[in-house]
Chain A
Amino acid sequence: GENVEQHPSTLSVQEGDSAVIKCTYSDSASNYFPWYKQELGKRPQLIIDIRSNVGEKKDQRIAVTLNKTAKHFSLHITETQPEDSAVYFCAASIPNAGGTSYGKLTFGQGTILTVHP
């Protein structure tokens, strides 16, 4: 099955700096890569996602890049703010045998991001 590795496990930055979290996946058939943010005691919430036919996607201060050849994708947060402090999870989805996907996501281990004022 799919395996997703996420690094770093913890990341500490100063307010206003950029933060980058990287994930690698094992199955080259994976075609959907979402990122989730989980605040303490809350549910994970989707913040951005990218499909395999796209190399980069931006939404205000966050962006995701995908390198299919190397099988890795990254989350970039610019101009970080204290409210960005949370656990971030990457995930990957593999299509089923028929080419569609059940949306069955395999998650990375998570990155604890701390933004210091």
Chain B
Amino acid sequence: NAGVTQTPKFQVLKTGQSMTLQCAQDMNHNSMYWYRQDPGMGLRLIYYSASEGTTDKGEVPNGYNVSRLNKREFSLRLESAAPSQTSVYFCASSELPGTGYTFGSGTRLTVV
């Protein structure tokens, strides 16, 4: 049982390049989330998907797009990467609303 799997684990992009961060969970969870973690700022919500077929903006959605491909997968896309998007990105899922998250292992992204 893998839990929440994120790929890639590390990535370096040049300013203006695009990429997609992948996330998949095998726990049959309904809700999935993307957070970014920056020093001293905790975890900030980018986008979330309460259930398959729905997505909503979080606290810091600018510069990102998401796709809930199916119940298992929730991807995050950077269309034109900027240095301000250098961060560690965590995907998470939860079985029921109001329960604790299970996090993936994170993607460390550097934009130069």
Contacts and interface: CB of A to CB of B under 8 A. Distances in A.
Mostly, the A contact residues are: loop
B61 interface: no
A32 B98 contact: yes
Interface stretch (B15-23, B68-76, B78-86, B100-108): B100-108
Given A44-B90, A44-B103, A45-B103, A103 B40 contact: no
Interface residues of A, number: 29
A103 B31 contact: yes
A102 B45 CA distance: 13
A46 B101 contact: yes
A96 B54 CA distance: 14
Interface of A: 1, 4, 6, 9, 31-32, 34, 42-46, 49, 51, 89, 93, 95-96, 100-110
11 contacts: A4-B42, A43-B103, A45-B103, A46-B101, A101-B98, A102-B31, A102-B97, A104-B48, A104-B58, A105-B45, A110-B40
Interface of B: 31, 33, 35, 40-45, 48, 50, 56, 58-59, 90, 94, 96-106
